[in-house]
Amino acid sequence: MDVIQNGINGELVTSKSDKKVSVFNPATGEVSAELPLSSVEEVNDAVAAAKDALPAW
């Protein structure tokens, strides 16, 4: 099963949160991946990295 990581500042970062949510394959009903329920700090880091990258776009 895949464990999805956070994409922050061009890197894959493992969440510090132990909380996860399952992603189900709708065709089979089986769990195909897990997503972290990231902390506010991790979300803020991702938003800050996106803002910093915006001028380059």
Tally of domains in the chain? 1
Integer Cα distance of 6 and 42 in angstroms: 8
Would you place residue 37 in the very low, low, confident or very high pLDDT band (cuts 50, 70, 90)? very high
**Each residue of 11-27: pLDDT tens digit?**
999 999 999 999 999 99
CB atoms closer than 10 angstroms to residue 46: 16
Residue with tokens 């769990």: 31
What's the confidence (pLDDT) of residue 54?
85
Reported as type and span, the H/E element at residue 7 is: strand 6-8
Tell how strand 2-3 and strand 31-36 pair up: parallel
What's the confidence (pLDDT) of residue 57?
72
Mean pLDDT across the stretch 35-55?
94
Domain span holding position 27: 2-56
Q: What percent of the chain has pLDDT over 70?
A: 100
